[in-house]
Amino acid sequence: MSLDPRRASAGDPLSAAIGAARWIRTAAAGDARARHWVANPDPRGRSALTPEPASLYGGAAGIVLFFLELAAATGREEYLEDARAGVRYLVEAGPGVGDVTFHHGLGGIAVALCEAGWVLGDGLAEEAAAAALDRVARAARPMDGGPGWSGDPAQRGDGGVVLALLHGAAMLRMPSYAELAAEAGLRAARLAVPGHRFGDCEGLPADAVTPGFLAGTAGTAFLLARLYGVSGDGRFLEAAHRGADFVRSVSALSGRRALVPHHLPQGRGLHYLGFCSGSAGVARMFVELYRAGGDPADLEWAERLATGIVTSGVPGRRVPGLWDTACQCCGLAGLVELFVGLWAVTGREAYLTFARTLGEHLAGRASGDGGGLRWYQAFERVRPGVVSADTGYMAGAAGIGAALLHLEAAGRGRRVILLPDNPFPAIPGMLPE
């Protein structure tokens, strides 16, 4: 039986996701054949992001993934039609995208097209994904120690490109992508402490070191652990452990709780909780390392970080590391992903209970009316007065809706679509006995 979207409210995860879809649809641009969605359709509304209409982070690629998942959750064909229209836009827009990165360029577009091709049985989407990854591969250039694109080993840079290549290699059965990914990954594996960089993060001091996920050590160590799992090359596992050891060494410990500094040395006391630069992202690295190497101490560290989040007081109160944000990147949706995932890995009921608490809070803070649901937030911590609502995946309603769908799917045996930087099971396990 399918769920009628006209009867949905914000009272539960699935209903809130349907409400998000209703609002995203008001942002549609183009036509019924090929469609994308503007970042903020509110009258006089202003997006928190630089417009990237095709990107995974804030554009059509991420919204296509959300509509694919919503169709699976509700049985409604109309959401598949939304996804198909988005795919046609990506097929047409992709050749004009010059950025090769995962979140903002061709890497993420290719991932979305791979998933859409698999769900929809659309050969055109798979062909476009392969064409995008071919362009990524051709853009690689010789660097010291192997091929690369930007020289940045973090997931915002070459690390994310490598994850996209690995995803494409598996879904499109193209081993050449995995071979290039391994060659590029070895450049990062040769670093003394993989992934952290000095003076290359906007808004940070020139000598800052970032241990977090998108722009730092943890995300690169995640990638290296993934490469070990794919290739069996011990150099990747050794380097991943070096990165993890660095993160451990700079973290703040109190009993069973761990918190990671946003940057060093100046931000040692600033502990983000979200995905991009905080505990929710760093915990993913330790889970991936546990999957690759089987050391229970790595899973224990992921759980230490989870304890740090639980004991922080969120979602009942705002803290410096999780301010007025709801999104996947730095907000509550990223925490929902973590705790649903930890429940699926460990079977600990407390994680799912906390995920539901987060989900209820997240659904309850949505704004909306007959035009659907949206989430207003201060996306940038350093500019708390700038509040907006966006449609996209990492910073807006599509990603919030996806996290709520992953919560709703827990224990139902339904496959969810997880990005390549997510180490958790794609079918959140059945409820423990």
Q: Is 330 a domain residue?
A: no
> What residues form DSSP beta bridges with 135?
none
* Nearest residue to 54 (alpha-carbon basis) of 129, 104, 124: 104
- Percent pLDDT > 90 in the chain is 85
CA atoms of 324 and 379, how far apart (whole Å): 8
Q: Is 378 a domain residue?
A: yes
How far is the CA of 214 from the CAs of 68, 158, 284, 416, in angstroms? 25, 11, 11, 22
305-354 pLDDT tens trace? 999 999 999 999 889 999 999 999 999 999 999 999 999 999 999 999 99
Q: Is 90 a domain residue?
A: yes
Q: Is 28 a domain residue?
A: yes
Burial 160-192 (b: 16+ CB within 10 A, else e): bbbbbbbbbbebbebeebbebbbebbbbbbebe
Residue 3: predicted pLDDT = 41
CA atoms in the 13 A half-sphere facing the CB of 80: 13
Query: By the 8 A CB rule, do 240 and 301 touch?
Result: no
Return all residues near 245 (Cβ < 8 A) that are at least 6 apart. none
What is the residue type of 23? Answer: W
Q: Which of 9-23, 98-112, 177-191 has the lowest mean pLDDT?
A: 9-23
> What residues form DSSP beta bridges with 263?
267
Confidence of residue 44 (pLDDT cuts 50, 70, 90): confident
Mean pLDDT (the chain) is: 93
Confidence of residue 145 (pLDDT cuts 50, 70, 90): confident
Q: Where are the beta strands (DSSP E) in 16-153?
A: 28-30, 35-37, 141-143, 146-148
Return all residues near 3 (Cβ < 8 A) that are at least 6 apart. 14, 18, 73, 74, 75, 76
Query: By the 8 A CB rule, do 30 and 88 touch?
Result: no
Q: Could you identify the residue written with the tokens 């641009």? A: 29
What is the greatest pairwise CA distance in the chain? 58
Question: Is pLDDT at 199 greater than 80 in this prediction?
Answer: no
Q: Is 287 a domain residue?
A: no
Run of H or E residues at 297: helix 296-310
Distance from the Cα of residue 420 to its chain's centroid: 8
Q: Is 302 a domain residue?
A: no
Query: By the 8 A CB rule, do 38 and 61 touch?
Result: no
CA atoms of 283 and 300, how far apart (whole Å): 10
Confidence of residue 209 (pLDDT cuts 50, 70, 90): confident
Average pLDDT over residues 375-402: 93
Q: Could you identify the residue written with the tokens 């230490």? A: 304
394-418 pLDDT tens trace? 999 999 999 999 999 999 999 999 9
CA atoms of 429 and 410, how far apart (whole Å): 6
CA atoms of 58 and 397, how far apart (whole Å): 10
CA atoms of 364 and 69, how far apart (whole Å): 21
Q: Is 223 a domain residue?
A: no
The span from the first CA to the last CA of the chain, in angstroms, equals 27
Confidence of residue 196 (pLDDT cuts 50, 70, 90): low
380, with CB counted inside 10 A (0-12, 13-18, 19+), is: middle
Residue 197: predicted pLDDT = 56
Number of domains in the chain: 1
CA atoms of 14 and 179, how far apart (whole Å): 40
- Percent pLDDT > 70 in the chain is 94
What are phi and psi for residue 122, nearest 5 degrees? Answer: -100, 105
pTM for the full model? 0.95
> What residues form DSSP beta bridges with 36?
29
Helices (H), 316-396: 332-346, 349-364
Domain that holds residue 47: 12-139+369-425
What is the residue type of 119? Answer: V
81, with CB counted inside 10 A (0-12, 13-18, 19+), is: middle
Q: Is 96 a domain residue?
A: yes
| Greater model confidence, 7 or 296 | 296
